[in-house]
Structure 1
Amino acid sequence: MEVDIQNWTRADERADFRVDAFGATTAVLYLVVCVAGLAGNCLVAAAILKVDKMSSAATVYIFNLALADGLFMVGLPFIVSQNFLNRWPFGEAACKAVTVLDGLNQFTSVYCLTVMSVDRYLALADPLRFASWRTPRRAKAVSALMWLCSLLTILPMALRFSAEGGLCVPDLPSDDGWRLGVLSYTFVLGFALPFAVMSACYAALLLTLRRRRRREAPEDRRPERQLTKMVVAVVVAFAACWLPFYAVNFCSARHEGPAFARVFELLVLLSYSWSCANPILYACFSDTFRRYFRALLCPGAKAPPGTPGDTERQNPNVTEVQDVNVLA
């Protein structure tokens, strides 16, 4: 949906745009991101369904994040086609459907990461107290509510998109007031508030781990180091991929020209590439997911020695360092 906002705000510039080496290269990069995002998130979802079987609240949320990120990639070829052809060739119904799909999964992905941040803090802050709230069944209910909230968030704007003018753009007044209102709405609900919650949860989580480090033996600190690295990676990746997009979008009213439009195209690509980041982060930082991937891709390999959910059920007094290793 962010690409469509750009088309709306810069439609006059795009009318004179011609496909050149930059446009062709950008289209190829979009398709690479699409394929990588679909493959990576399908791998994560399959690993959770087949190997982990959604045995814990954490993996339920990770599955929903992978589902949202994967579906987010489905609409990308349509966006690439519009950018490359400088027109929307798929009709009015497809315009609304793709916009709803794009916005729904964009917001669900962000909301899911936010819910997972709260879950991580509760898991470490007081695992006994919040154990009954962190069951797979309740996590599925929270996930369903999260999808519904995302739909209600984007539906009023998504249904206003129209392809009658040749581009799939919002059918709204083109004055700066409307544009600023739409951008502020998406920025606050799609970045500012979720990022504030994530940052607060992870800051509190790291403080909790720091206090516990004083009571732990040195050999027990490896999970903490893994978690710290993953926390930093996830938060930085989210901010690095989305903050430039929103910052430049807010500056679009004061800047014009093909150069600015091309910069924005690259930033839109960067925002979509965030959906490829989580599977890579899991593989780089999580021993558990590396075992899951090996078990899925190499059926003859030794199965993972237990799951995070098994650890919780066997000993609820565990501070969930193993569960936390799955995700930051």
Structure 2
Amino acid sequence: IRPAGHPEGYSKQEITKELAEDVVGEAGGHNASSPELALQPLYIAVPVIYSVICAVGLTGNTAVLYVLLRAPKMKTVTNLFILNLAIADELFTLVLPINIADYLLLQWPFGELMCKLIISIDQYNTFSSLYFLTVMSIDRYLVVLATVESRKMAFRTYRAAKAVSLAVWFLVTLIVLPFTIFAQLYEEEGRLQCVLVFPQPESFWWKVSRIYTLILGFAIPVSTICILYTIMLCRLRSMQLDSHAKALDRAKKRVTLMVLVILAVCLFCWTPYHLSTVVALTTDIPQTPVIIGVSYFITSLSYANSCLNPFLYAFLDDNFRKSFRKLVECRASP
């Protein structure tokens, strides 16, 4: 979403959508330029790829929600945080068809209330994933150190995890609130667009919004996670472990590995997007076909994160696979 009247403010699919208007409007005529013709395959591919992400994401996250809510053995602290991750991903994939329709229609036909809702959900997706991964990393840190020191964690209960999850959603809601307030309909060249309408000077407020997202949505949670795992590894290496601690409990090792892999995939999907923010803030890059292609790839990569997590659970968690198989067999049996 971009601020009204500010071309440098594009983010996500909006930059490709704006250039799509030129391609759709001119590429069919005799005066179509070679860059516009070069971009045609890209704009044909955009709704197709977004549709695939939507279909895979809805299927995978629905399966995750079904297993975590229905299987009694899956009601653990870590799985509760994974459940919240899946809810965030499911919400985003549910509204992705509206973004696809917006792209194809080249305007926003759904009204201002829906505009605010879609922008809010999009921002929830940006912030909630890393915040819940931060909470999961804190949980892993405490569990591993408690195991090493042969301590019990009486406060680590399912009820406490629910309270923490609600606190995370409340925090993310506060962070997202400014985007909801600034989201408005703006008429541009006779078409209504769902954009962020900032006060004057727009350029300044656009930069503030990008820095705000970069710091709160990436720098702080990623730095926290890296510090936690660094301290945890240093403590593990420096301590003389007894036979019980050396085991570290095989199940806990698998859970820690799963959290690390989910984190790595999340960083792989979101780091290019946030790096593009740094580039947008510091460099004036011409919108060539190559740059537009890279922008499109970065956007698709950030969207793809919402459909990758379910496959990570399936590959890395034996209990998840067993519970899913058992639930499917129960429903299939007469």
TM range (shorter): 0.7 to 0.9
Whole-Å Cα distance in 2 between the matches of residues 226 and 207 of structure 1? Answer: 20
Partner of 2:287: 257
Listed as ranges, the gaps of 5+ residues in structure 2 are: 3-8, 25-38
Name which one, 1 or 2, has greater alpha-carbon Rg.
2
For residue 167 of structure 1, give the secondary structure of its aligned residue in structure 2.
strand
CA 1:130–1:115 in 2, change beyond 3 Å: closer, same or farther? farther
Q: CA deviation at 1:271?
A: 0.4
Residue 158 of structure 2 aligns to which amino acid in structure 1?
A: P
Q: CA deviation at 1:133?
A: 2.2
Within the candidate set 20, 36, 59, 1:39 is matched to 59
Matches for 1:42-53 after TM superposition, within 5 Å: 42-52=62-72
Q: CA deviation at 1:51?
A: 0.8
Q: 2:218 aligned with 1:191, yes or no?
A: yes
CA 1:251–1:22 in 2, change beyond 3 Å: closer, same or farther? same
Contact kept in structure 1, 2:23 and 2:40, CA below 8 Å:
no
CA 1:209–1:275 in 2, change beyond 3 Å: closer, same or farther? farther
Partner of 1:318: none
Contact kept in structure 1, 2:214 and 2:277, CA below 8 Å:
no
For residue 107 of structure 2, give the secondary structure of its aligned residue in structure 1.
coil
Query: Normalization by structure 2: what TM-score?
Result: 0.78
Q: What percentage of aligned pairs have identical amino acids?
A: 32
Within the candidate set 184, 189, 202, 2:229 is matched to 202
Partner of 1:29: 49
Q: CA deviation at 1:88?
A: 1.4
Q: 2:83 aligned with 1:56, yes or no?
A: no
Contact kept in structure 2, 1:37 and 1:276, CA below 8 Å:
yes
Within the candidate set 46, 70, 85, 1:65 is matched to 85
Contact kept in structure 1, 2:115 and 2:194, CA below 8 Å:
yes
Residue 159 of structure 2 aligns to which amino acid in structure 1?
A: R
Q: CA deviation at 1:100?
A: 1.5
Q: CA deviation at 1:113?
A: 1.4
For residue 196 of structure 1, give the secondary structure of its aligned residue in structure 2.
helix
Q: CA deviation at 1:265?
A: 1.9
Number of aligned pairs? 301
Residue 274 of structure 2 aligns to which amino acid in structure 1?
A: Y
Partner of 2:197: 171
Q: 2:126 aligned with 1:95, yes or no?
A: no
Q: CA deviation at 1:4?
A: 6.7
Residue 201 of structure 1 aligns to which amino acid in structure 2?
A: L
Contact kept in structure 1, 2:68 and 2:74, CA below 8 Å:
yes
CA 1:105–1:153 in 2, change beyond 3 Å: closer, same or farther? same
Q: CA deviation at 1:101?
A: 2.0
Q: CA deviation at 1:246?
A: 1.5
Within the candidate set 300, 305, 309, 1:274 is matched to 305
Whole-Å Cα distance in 1 between the matches of residues 234 and 256 of structure 2? Answer: 11
Q: CA deviation at 1:146?
A: 1.0
CA 1:286–1:292 in 2, change beyond 3 Å: closer, same or farther? same
Report Cα offsets for 1:24-63 as digits up to 9, x if no partner: 2121111111111111111111111111366322121111
Within the candidate set 167, 171, 196, 1:145 is matched to 167
Q: 2:275 aligned with 1:247, yes or no?
A: yes
Listed as ranges, the gaps of 5+ residues in structure 1 are: 302-328
Contact kept in structure 1, 2:67 and 2:74, CA below 8 Å:
no
Contact kept in structure 2, 1:95 and 1:162, CA below 8 Å:
yes
Partner of 1:323: none
Residue 326 of structure 2 aligns to which amino acid in structure 1?
A: A
Q: CA deviation at 1:91?
A: 1.8
Moved more, 119-128 or 269-278: 119-128
